[in-house]
Amino acid sequence: MLKSTLIYLEKAGKYLMLHRVRKKNDVNHDKWIGVGGRFEPGETAEVCARREVTEETGYVMGCINYRGIVTFISDTAPHEEMHLFTCDDFQGEMHDCDEGVLEWVPQSDVASLPTWEGDRIFLRLLAEGRPFFHLELRYHGDALVGASLEGEALEIGR
């Protein structure tokens, strides 16, 4: 199972979003996501999150909030365990990202962007201030076909 991180930097009611338009053969091509990436050997979730944010944005995070674990089960890709963080304590100067275009987007506008359907679920949980959670998302191709939160099935497509 792949292990990765996803981090939403927060400032003035906005999330720093990455519009994935620069990498070839990118499963996330043309989607808007937070920043993050795969663990390197020996890394913990927090170490990976800090490294990825600095590499992709130029920012260095202070205190971060570990918000949950999202498990992706797919019929076309390896299963993935993603560790989800938010952070409003960071310093530095933003630089260009080789994976796409970084943009501060009002949190209320993120749901209208082209994102994965499952991302909308965990973004809603973040907005609701949900304490640490485990979300499982099941995909057939690009289509979300099932979701469960703490083992309880969720209605999808809402």
Host H or E run for residue 50: helix 45-57
Let me know: does 106 contact 8? Beta carbons within 8 Å: no
pLDDT value at position 99?
Answer: 86
Of the candidates 106, 148, 104, 145, the residue with the CA atom closest to the CA atom of residue 125: 148
Provide the β-strand partners of residue 61.
90
pLDDT(158) > 60? no
Question: What is the rounded average pLDDT of the residues 112-125?
Answer: 93
Alpha-carbon gap, residue 144 to 154, rounded angstroms: 12
Q: How far apart are CA 104 and CA 137, in angstroms?
A: 26
